[in-house]
A and B are shown apart, each in its own frame.
Chain A
Amino acid sequence: MSAAPLLALRGITKAYPGVVANDHVALTIGAGEIHALLGENGAGKSTLVKMIYGLVAPDAGSMTLSGAPYAPAEPRAARASGVAMVFQHFSLFDALDVAENIALGMEAPPPMRELAAQIREVSETYGLPLDPGRLVGDLSAGERQRVEIVRCLLQDPRLLIMDEPTSVLTPQEVSILFDTLRQLRADGRSILYISHKLEEIRALCDTATILRLGKVVGTCDPKTASAREMAEMMVGGTLHVPEKAPPGDGPVLLSISGLSAPAPHAFGTALKDISLEVRQGEVVGIGGVAGNGQDELLLALSGEMRVRPGMIRMDGRDVGTLGPDGRRALGLQTAPEERMGHAAAPDMTLTENALLSGHARKNLMNRGFLRWGKARLFAEEIIKAFDVRTPGPGNAARSLSGGNLQKFVIGREILQNPRVFVVNQPTWGVDASAAAAIRQALLDLAAKGAAVIVISQDLDELMEVSDRFAALNEGRLSPPRPAQGLTVDQIGLMLGGAHDMEVAHVHG
């Protein structure tokens, strides 16, 4: 590491009501270094990088950039100092084209035609093919990320911050990204790489700083430290690995045949000829890169999107034309990806949220009149059975942490004893211990004789819980294969991750 570090943080502290997000954090990044910031969800990684990028001001502490004091008042100032950031989400504009999106991230963009030429040039140099004229809303997740990276690179940054960049990529796309990042390092640029995926960090990074509950708990060289060592630092204890019963050979509970449906909104995905059978006691994992029809498949199964007769059957009975209530009555329960505002209403109490999907099956009403007492008991039952940390069922869903709300949502469906349960992204943004508990609950449900479909972008998770695995790609579902023995490469091919491989390899 060079004598004068590129970026040094000392005693950085930031508190929000009820939580100290960063507590005297110190961190040093050298020039030409890929530095990993490792930690669980809620460990304070996002807050820390927001301070480096000028989005949030620290309550205390100091930063230096190349030895000079550094305190960006806003992202503009950070960018002017050579700090750029690739966001996990929230920073692209669907209705604008690629060039416009990139211009918005620059201080003094050249005229559009020139900018388009520059975009082509940079994207060729780093193996990130992009068409400047396309609408961002029509791009795949991987392409959207390229827009962000190119936007940063055009400003010639000294430090590039990347927040969970691989969560939306296929394994093949990840390896393309890593090639790009190594090439950037070779150019003398530094990268602050935020992740909770240990294998990636071991493959890519030079140094790792580990955060837990807002504090730095250690710094190590990820190439030499063991994954287990890092994981334990990150989690602060040993992890519970779910136990899995061997799959039974029960009757088919849910059968989807030739399911096709148009995209429900402008930037959605149409479902194309999806067929799948799920047996009693079986967990089918459905993988895929975000935006390939996961949400739409869940909508079609939950009944929020009705489909034509004969496409979805339960026990041979046609359910595709029923609404959510009709399907729940038959024991088909679902849990959508978005907790806040889809699976749960943020400003309503947990009792009301328990009622949200449980009103019919849990007998919480009488001729349309609600039984609030019973609803409250149901909410309390969920809170108790799924270890939801909250003062009580009278609290608003918004007041719960992501992991606790997810446990509540999953618990709400599971405690209704579904015969078929479909869940999308069961552990997205959830801390490790809650994630383990949720996975175990899914396996227990299957062991009790339900048919379970888990849709997820987390391949490790899918391999852990699935008996069979299928992949969604542009609204099509691959034929399912037994999960045991699938290699990463095979999965990558199933995910259709071969996009743009040729182009990338020319330069990579």
Chain B
Amino acid sequence: MHSIWAVALNTIKQALRMKIAAVFIVLLVVLLPVMGVSMTGDGTIKGRLQTFISYGFSLTSLLLCLLTIITSVYSVTNDIKQMQIYTVITKPIRRFQFLLGKLLGVILLNVVLLAMFSVVIYTIVIFTPGYFKADNAEIARLNNEFFTARATVIPAEEDVSKEVQKEYDKLKKDGQLPPEVLASKSANDKYMAWLTNQKKLEKRAAAVGHEIVWKFSDVRASEPNQSLFVRFKYDVSVNPPDSQVYGRWFAGDNRQLPYDVYTLDRKDTIRTFYEIEVPSDAVAKDGYLAVGFLNVPLNNTVVIFPPGDGLELLYKTGTFNGNFFRSVLLLLGRLIFLACLGILASTFLSFPVAILLCLVGFFTASISGFVAESFEFLGEGAGIIYNYTVRPVVMLLPQFDKFNPVDYLVPARILDWSLVAEVFGIMICIKALLLLGLALLIFSRKEIAKITI
């Protein structure tokens, strides 16, 4: 343990005296406040905060990930290349202790820097409302919609299979099915999937003068008298001239007459997220809530709510501070994984090649969703090759974009401990430890003094 700690201290000293850490630190310390002041978002304080936290977190994450890769790779490869490892490894230190010491040093450095920068971001976020002289109403709004952590309820998808089948049969009877659909089974399946998609989309669209009603059950806020929020985004079939849509919203219990609902008329821009506050007494005693939208005749277009996050119900289940802290932990998880990857690469590669490998790994992990999706579109033949070669590698890499803390902080969605545990469990305990084990194995067998070009 002594030896591991000695090597860790040495690694931290090296990173700090290497000046690359200093460059990153100075960069962040300068950029973050500048961003805090200059990012305007949509002009509102909430917009500012959202834009700042989104870009601030992303920038911090990017720079710290790069720093981790560079430090972990440089530390080991430099020792091997400049042969300082000869004087170290001939001392009573086992090979695995040496690598673990390097890893520990990098992780400790990350913890300190991450703590430092998250404090900077947090301070800027807390002080921004005061700095821009927000009035009481705005502050109240911010407390409800930003400085909080809310659980999301998405309306249940309705089962459209019966309707799809009916439509299919009708088309078949009328002879309106395209010929290639009847020819092969896979084309048939694709057509059915497309039909299903169309039907689902119809459920989320309101023609002029029509309304959509979503039903939520078992809605329970963590505190009584806590407002709920309906978060939505409009999409349209025909762009209105001023990109504004008029709508009438209902929220309440529509099961009994007279309807015990709140109504609200509003005008909103398309393709932007908005939130409507719903008082807590709109929810019935058994947790039932109905939310309705009427496409008022003032509009000239069909209004569609995009699938996924087009319409959500949010209610508070946690605090902003807790959410923020857990987001920072997610970032730490990424950094730990990258440190292990860097150490592995440096045990058998030279510095430039190892850095390249780690960067490729990092960027693939950052766009892993896109990579996985794009491979789904491969044809049959390429698909087999993909399944046996690229796919295992992509599976091994963590999905940074899937567990992106910014996706939770910006809409103030709760990032709960179970998610953090999942990330740490998979990304670190399994994937990172696998890489680390491989690194230790390679290093233990390595002929240290063998010169490789």
Does A pair with B? no
